[in-house]
Structure 1
Amino acid sequence: MPEKESSVPPDAPTRRGLLGLVGAGVAGLAIGGVGGAGIASVLAKGAAADDAAADSDDGIVTFYGAHQAGITTPAQDRLHFASFRMVEGATRDDLIALFKDWTAAAAKLTRGEELGSGLEPDNSYLPPDDTGEAEGLHAGHLTLTFGLGHALFVGEDGTTDPFGIKHQLPKQFEPLPNFAFDLLEGTQSGGDLCVQACADDPQIAVHAIRNLSRIAIGRAHLVWSQLGFGRTSSTSRSQDTPRNLFGFKDGTMNIMSEETKALSQHVWVGDNAPEWLRGGSYLVARKILMTLESWDRSSLREQERVFGRTKRSGAPLSGGAEFDQPDFSAQQQSGDPAIDVAAHVRLAHPDNNEGTRILRRGYNFVDGSNPLGQMGGGLFFISFQSDPAAFVRVQKSLKPDLLNEYIRHVGSGLWAVPGGVKKGEFLAQALFE
């Protein structure tokens, strides 16, 4: 069904979104005469936002564009990733209203602006529209990247059409299969919607997810999230290659934002997809727990054999420098391969995956420690690809990977990332037209 035109500006929260901002405990005040002036102020300020002026400010990554930000954007150092589920009984109109409200909020948050009436509402008997913990921190290169889960189109049982968008499901969008050695936990997997918040400051990223969660009240709720620090890959040639918690350089051969042709081929969805997804991508998230204590007892020789690279420089064991192509035919004096047949770099390399490439954008994480004193740390792996089959192809190749002895996959998710948002439109608008 086509969506009816709305008289509410795209940058203005919907009535239900306003109730999410105010909170269920005082919703009655907003509906009655006491909160009317506050709501009018929120709408006025939302509609009057000046995007063009803000986009030129330092530290701002514009929310609008042909593609969503947070994919080829130079990877920031901090992450707050969140997964949401629609509440039981939520309707198509609820989903549309949520996307409109999230769009309006994202445009402001990425400019470093306060939401609604900010920290100080006109009516002091109402809670502030903005939680306030990012006050004074500015934009911090915040990017917000939104994704849609498979169940949003066909329900949890895979056969229903809860929001009237089943006919818009791309044929490539199938749930990920079970992979060897998966130990997935339901509490850290899946979701109808996801939001990837990346920023220079962790408080900016947390502030964004916190406020988007408040706005979603009554329509969607947060089901799991993950904090990340220390990017584990570069998305621009201007960035140095970072290291993961195993101490090795990670993502050396990643697709870079400067590789326009590779992005078109491997990352961006083309014209063969529904209009709402064109210029978008598919986001895979995998929470990978590292058995750090076992790794730390391994010799340097063993660690380098596992990765197929030297630990200090990141150069392939076949010789050369970090960014030199590995020579998989090179041999040691003993006649054994210079790069082990089960080394990570060999199994993941495009040459051994029919030319498949993905854009990696992961982060380190530490979730405390267990009673045995073992650190709960690892890699929150994120990748973008034009077809989920690309990730599946590479992941299946890693079945004999030597690295599997030291890692456990405990969380997983796949989301379709709509194309970028134009000013005056809202997230995934073409999905409902």
Structure 2
Amino acid sequence: MHDRVGLPDVVAAASARLPGGPPVSARRAAAAAVAAGRGGRRGRGGRGLVLPAAGDLAGGLRGRRCGGGAVEAGRAPARGRGRRAVGDATDGPGDGDARGGGRRGVGKALGSGGHDDGEAGHEHATAGVEPFFGDRQAGIATAAQAHALFAAFDLAAADLASGEALDAAAVAANLEALLRDWSAVSAALAAGEAPPKAAIDGADQFDAEAVASGLDPARLTVTFGIGPAAFAKAGLEAARPSKLAELPEFDGDRLNPAWSGGDLLVQVCGDDQQVVSAAFLELRKRAVGRGTLLWVQQGFSSAPSGGTPRNLMGFKDGSANPEAGSALFDERVWAVDSEPSWFEGGTYQVFRKIRMRLPDWSVLSAEDQNLTFGRERDSGAPLSGGGEFDHPDFEVLDDSGLPAVPADSHVAVVHDAAMVRRGFNYDYGFLTQGDVSSDASGDGHLDGHMHAAHPYDAGLLFVSFQADPQVFIDAQEKMAAGDRLAEFITAEGSGVYAVPSGAPDGGFVGEGLFRS
């Protein structure tokens, strides 16, 4: 369910109803190379892949402690020998460490299934219900749910019935109608109520799908974003958010157009996968004649009670997020600088499908995995010492006199990225079509056996929210230039979207765009 899809042919019949490392010595050499400006890349040829989610992705191990002992005399606890430099690490934007401003809670606030009351305009009065209406859209500061679905649509360029090209005014009308209908449907489903009947359904058809009939809304949230190209298509270029532009393709990316871009992004999250799927089916139905489904990605996330979730590499993911509702969270996420009035208080969302080379990763030593992320896997503490939520100390040295947190580790590369990450794992199993794989024909595992004929597709659906997408771009470029994690990740899908502020009671998301 992650390939590009077109609308079912059957909708044509409904058109009439449409409304208008090596030993220490080798490591020293590698460190010297970094200092000399030669990139310090070692290992298997490190591709400068940009894995935006890797920062916190790997965030699992901060604060390297030995039996709970504190770091003394500016040195990290002994860690054994064979500190081998793993290939290029790619770090993703969003692993910036948050100091102060209530940064504890990052993994807990956004990564656990518990409620978080920090999101303005959303009161959790009823168990299982995340209100749709509010100052901000739900699904951003909301505590992360167990399941997520991301779907991208392009606005229709031609009339479904006649096939005639639509002018900008007609495209804008479709965009407004979509956001209005989608908001009404989402508000009803989030409250556990039946959605309004779709305009394309006749009197002889059911009023709504029954996929989730009788189920709790399971903290369902639906979040809408608008892509860069949509504004020009709808003749609304003058109202486009000031920092919204297509992301560049970074070194190491192997982007598949089938998994990238889109005029609209719909993020559906919930604690019940069936509820999430049901919501998507209702939303997709309302797009008939107004938009075309481009791609769908589905992910999952699970964390221990009060803890931080882990990525498929086994490391904690989200340790560096500031606490939702804190001053630091607001500063990182909400766009208020030089934005059109309709978009003030919104945010920018980056989506990346990041495929992980898990077979290669799994054969690394425990030490090499820790060095790649700059954290201890099990505790999530930085290798310089402390706890999971402590900022890494890049001045601390290990027993060999080298930085305890390598300069090319993921946390070192992206620790200052001012964003909030809200990613989900994905595991699609073995791909069956070579043309959708980023594997090269000669690609293989570290032990020499080949796997291109049966590529395994699993990794991270990286999602970040930031007040300025340039934050993500800067972090991604640094990852491409020298992050060990890059050896094990490949970006295969990418997109950036303007996420408007929330809708007032009875209103719809993005309403101000059409009044500006």
TM-score band, normalised by the shorter chain? 0.7 to 0.9
Superposition deviation, residue 255 in structure 1: 2.3
**Partner amino acid, structure 2, of 1:432:** F
* Shift in CA distance, 248/271, structure 1 to aligned 2, threshold 3 Å: closer
**Partner amino acid, structure 2, of 1:109:** L
Residue 415 of structure 1: SS of its match in structure 2? strand
**Is 2:421 aligned against 1:360?**
yes
Please point out which of 466, 473, 485 is paired with 1:392. Answer: 473
TM alignment of 1:113-152, pairs within 5 A? 113-116=193-196, 123=203, 126-152=204-230
Question: Which residue matches 1:303?
Answer: 369
Separation of aligned partners in 2, 1:30 and 1:164: 22
* Shift in CA distance, 382/180, structure 1 to aligned 2, threshold 3 Å: same
Question: Which residue matches 1:265?
Answer: 331
Mind listing any 5+ residue stretches in structure 2 that lack a counterpart? 1-7, 20-122, 159-165, 433-450
Contact residue 293 and residue 374 of structure 1 kept, 8 A: no
Mind listing any 5+ residue stretches in structure 1 that lack a counterpart? 1-19, 32-53, 155-161, 351-355
Separation of aligned partners in 1, 2:18 and 2:238: 38
User: CA deviation digits over 1:148-179, x for unaligned, max 9?
Assistant: 0000012xxxxxxx312111012211211221
TM alignment of 1:103-182, pairs within 5 A? 103-116=183-196, 123=203, 126-154=204-232, 162-182=233-253
**Partner amino acid, structure 2, of 1:243:** R
**Is 2:328 aligned against 1:247?**
no
User: CA deviation digits over 1:375-413, x for unaligned, max 9?
Assistant: 310000000001111111211121211000000000000
TM alignment of 1:33-72, pairs within 5 A? 56-72=125-141
Superposition deviation, residue 211 in structure 1: 0.9
Residue 408 of structure 2: SS of its match in structure 1? coil
**Partner amino acid, structure 1, of 2:504:** K
Separation of aligned partners in 2, 1:216 and 1:307: 42
TM alignment of 1:179-194, pairs within 5 A? 179-194=250-265
Please point out which of 440, 461, 478 is paired with 1:380. Answer: 461
**Is 2:509 aligned against 1:427?**
yes
Residue 404 of structure 2: SS of its match in structure 1? coil
User: CA deviation digits over 1:352-390, x for unaligned, max 9?
Assistant: xxxx41010000001121464543100000000011111
* Shift in CA distance, 271/101, structure 1 to aligned 2, threshold 3 Å: same
Separation of aligned partners in 2, 1:29 and 1:347: 54
Contact residue 183 and residue 408 of structure 1 kept, 8 A: yes
Contact residue 17 and residue 202 of structure 2 kept, 8 A: no
Please point out which of 202, 224, 227 is paired with 2:298. Answer: 227
* Shift in CA distance, 30/381, structure 1 to aligned 2, threshold 3 Å: closer
User: CA deviation digits over 1:106-143, x for unaligned, max 9?
Assistant: 1111112222369xx995xx232322111121210000
Contact residue 15 and residue 289 of structure 2 kept, 8 A: no
Question: Which residue matches 1:94?
Answer: 174
Question: Which residue matches 2:29?
Answer: none
TM alignment of 1:200-239, pairs within 5 A? 200-230=271-301, 239=306
Superposition deviation, residue 421 in structure 1: 0.4
Structure possessing the higher relative contact order (Cα contacts under 8 Å, 6 or more residues apart) = 2
Residue 214 of structure 1: SS of its match in structure 2? helix
**Partner amino acid, structure 1, of 2:399:** Q
**Is 2:392 aligned against 1:326?**
yes
Contact residue 242 and residue 340 of structure 2 kept, 8 A: no
Superposition deviation, residue 183 in structure 1: 0.6
TM-score by length of 1: 0.81
**Partner amino acid, structure 1, of 2:208:** D
Contact residue 231 and residue 362 of structure 1 kept, 8 A: no
* Shift in CA distance, 117/175, structure 1 to aligned 2, threshold 3 Å: closer
Question: Which residue matches 1:25?
Answer: 13
**Partner amino acid, structure 2, of 1:248:** F
**Partner amino acid, structure 2, of 1:79:** A
- How many aligned residue pairs are there? 370
Contact residue 221 and residue 268 of structure 2 kept, 8 A: yes
* Shift in CA distance, 187/122, structure 1 to aligned 2, threshold 3 Å: closer
User: CA deviation digits over 1:168-211, x for unaligned, max 9?
Assistant: 01221121122110110000000000010010011111111111
User: CA deviation digits over 1:195-232, x for unaligned, max 9?
Assistant: 10010011111111111010110001211010101158
Superposition deviation, residue 95 in structure 1: 1.7
Question: Which residue matches 2:499?
Answer: 417
Residue 301 of structure 2: SS of its match in structure 1? strand
Separation of aligned partners in 2, 1:99 and 1:199: 20
* Shift in CA distance, 346/29, structure 1 to aligned 2, threshold 3 Å: closer
User: CA deviation digits over 1:241-290, x for unaligned, max 9?
Assistant: 1110000111111122131x113311001152112211110000000000
* Shift in CA distance, 151/406, structure 1 to aligned 2, threshold 3 Å: same
Question: Which residue matches 1:73?
Answer: 142
Question: Which residue matches 1:280?
Answer: 346
**Is 2:427 aligned against 1:347?**
no
Separation of aligned partners in 2, 1:170 and 1:149: 10
Residue 318 of structure 1: SS of its match in structure 2? coil
